[in-house]
Amino acid sequence: MRIASLLFFEIAAAILAAAGYRYGLTELAAAGLGLGGLAAFAIVFFRPAWPTAMLGLFGVLVGVAGLFHIPPLFCSGALAAALVGWDVGRLAPRVAGASPRDRGRFALAYALRAAGLVGIGVLLVATAGRVRVSLTFGSGLGLSFAVLVLAALFLRNLRRARPSGRDATADRP
C-alpha cells in the first residue's frame, strides 16, 4: 500500500513540476519536485499521519499553482492524484496484518477504484471548459433545486456521522 501511495503522490508531483516548466514557473516546478522527494522520504519513514500531511502540502501547492494561472486540468489532476495517494496510504496500517500477496491484490483493486472515481472528476474539469450550457429560467431553477437536494443529503449524512468501530453482535456458532 505504501508503494501504491507513493506512486500516486509522485504522479501528483510530476504533474505540478511539468506544469511549472511548461508555463515558465521554475519555482513551482522546483516546489513540485521537492514535494515529490519529500513524499518518497515520508513513505520510507512511514507514519500514519504522513499521507494526510502530504495531501495538505499538495493542496497548498495546487492553490499556489492556481494563483499563477496554471490551467485547471493540471491543478485538478495533481490534486486528484494526491488524493488517491492519501486514500491508499491511509489504509496501509489497516492491512498490515495480511499476507503480502493479499495486500498487493487489495492495493491494486483499491487504487484502481479510487483513481477511477477521481478520474471522473478530472474528466468533468476537462470537459467543463468546452461545454457551453445556455441556462434558461426553468433549467436554472431545476439546477438550484438539485444543488439544494444534494446539500440536504450531505447535511443528513454529516449529522449521521458516527465514529467507526461500534460493536456488532457476535454470530457465535
Partner 1 sequence: MQRQLLFPLGIGFALVAAGLLLLNGSIVAAAIPTLLFVFVRMLSSPRPAAADLRLERTLGRLRAVEGDEIGVELTVDNGGKGIALLSVTDGTPPGLARIDGHAQFLGRLPTDGTETVSYVVRAQRGLHAFNKVKVRVWSPWGLAVRESRVLVETAVKVHPRFEVIDPITIRPQQTRAFAGPVRANRGGQGLDFFGCRAYTPGDDVRRINWRAYARLDSLIVNEYELERIADVNIILDARAKSHAQLAEDTTFDHSVRAAAGLAAHFLEQGNNVGLLVYGDYLQWVFPGIGRLQLERILDQLAEARLGDKAVFEELRFIPARLFPARSQLVLVSPLVDENDIEIVALLIDRGYSILLVCPYSMSVEHAERRTADATAADLAMRILDLRRDLFLGGLAGIGASVIDWRVEQPFRVACRQIHHSRLRRYRI
Which positions lie near partner 1, rule CB under 8 A?
52, 55-56, 59, 62-63, 65-67, 69-73, 75-76, 78-80, 83, 86, 90, 94-99, 102-103, 105-106, 109-110, 113-114, 117-122, 124-125, 128, 150, 153-154, 157-158, 160-161, 163-173
Q: Supply the DSSP string of 7-55, one letter for each residue.
A: HHHHHHHHHHHHHHHHTT-HHHHHHHHHHHHHHHHHHHT--TTHHHHHH
Report the nearest approach of partner 1 to the CB of residue 62 (Å). 5
Q: How far apart are CA 19 and CA 76, in angstroms?
A: 12
C-alpha cell at 38: 519529500
Would you say 15 or 43 has its CB closer to partner 1? Answer: 15
CA–CA distance, 76 with 74 (Å, rounded to integer): 6
User: Which CB atom, from 35 or from 55, has the smaller least distance to partner 1?
Assistant: 55
For residues 61 and 58, give the distance between their C-alpha atoms in angstroms, rounded to a whole number.
5
Provide the minimum distance between the beta carbon of 146 and partner 1 in the complex, in angstroms, as a whole number.
13
CB of 4 to partner 1, least distance (A): 13
Closer Cβ to partner 1, 41 or 113, answer by number: 113
Measured between alpha carbons, how far is 43 from 45 in angstroms, rounded to an integer? Answer: 5
CB of 43 to partner 1, least distance (A): 18
